[in-house]
A = this chain, B = another copy of it.
Amino acid sequence: MTTLLLVEDDASLARTLRVSLGAHGYEVHVAPTGAEALARAAADPPGVAIVDLGLPDVDGVEVVRALRDASEVPVIVLSARTTQDDKVLALDAGADDYVTKPFGIEELLARLRAALRRAQPSERLAVVSTGGLVVDRQARRVERHGQTVHLTPTEWNVLEVLLRSPGDLVTQRDLLREVWGPQYARETNYLRVYVGQLRRKLEDDASSPRHILTEPGVGYRFVV
């Protein structure tokens, strides 16, 4: 049973959600204020948190930030505000997802499942390797012919996304969204630059890559 911390000052909405989420297998704890939420989270770390941004005492975004600073708990934000800026603020503070009111319970449940799925160590294999190339995700280390190669954060992120499903195609759009965020979904420039850098660091012959392959017009794939 997953414990869920619901930070919600509207008692009526809180009750509704407690019942609905409880019926779907979550153990729901309600905190009506930001202060209470942080105290609860510290005492009994939840598996996932839902934060309503319209709190009375403090800015909800600060609650999100504090929650994420203190732990790895996935956070879903509820808000009546729909502007891009609000979303960016919340997501930058560490929120995993952003749900605008009004919303359906099914939507919330789906996002909860997605957030929990992402929070889990995605792959069972900590190490992916193929002829001379070793990628140790736990250690965040890459070796090529026995020597460690240094990757920048963005390079690593790109590689990490590709490695989540070795052999499968990852669309440009997905890659950009995962690494740079949703608003960069059409900046394919970035991919050209970073895929090129990865190839130069990982492939024996970057001009005829054997691992990071291009699917023109669609995306890239990492083949083992």
Which residues on B sit within 8 Å (CB–CB) of A185? 69-70
Residue of B with least CB distance to A113: B136
18 contacts between A and B (CB under 8 A): A69-B185, A70-B177, A91-B124, A97-B127, A98-B125, A100-B130, A100-B224, A102-B131, A104-B132, A106-B145, A110-B127, A139-B167, A139-B169, A139-B221, A140-B168, A141-B167, A153-B218, A156-B218
The residue that A132 contacts in the complex, of B107, B118, B139, B173, with Cβ under 8 A, is B107
Are B127's CB and A104's CB within 8 A? no
Task: Confirm or deny: A129 has a beta carbon within 8 angstroms of a beta carbon on chain B.
Answer: yes
Task: Confirm or deny: A190 has a beta carbon within 8 angstroms of a beta carbon on chain B.
Answer: no
Residue of B with least CB distance to A146: B106
Are B103's CB and A129's CB within 8 A? yes
Are A107's CB and B131's CB within 8 A? yes
Q: In the complex, how many angstroms separate the beta carbon of A74 from the nearest chain B beta carbon?
A: 11
Are A70's CB and B140's CB within 8 A? no
**CA–CA, A104 and B147, complex, Å:** 13
Are A132's CB and B106's CB within 8 A? yes
Are B146's CB and A183's CB within 8 A? no
Which residues on B sit within 8 Å (CB–CB) of A134? 106-107, 110-111
Residue of B with least CB distance to A219: B140
Task: Confirm or deny: A143 has a beta carbon within 8 angstroms of a beta carbon on chain B.
Answer: yes
The residue that A169 contacts in the complex, of B104, B114, B125, B140, with Cβ under 8 A, is B140
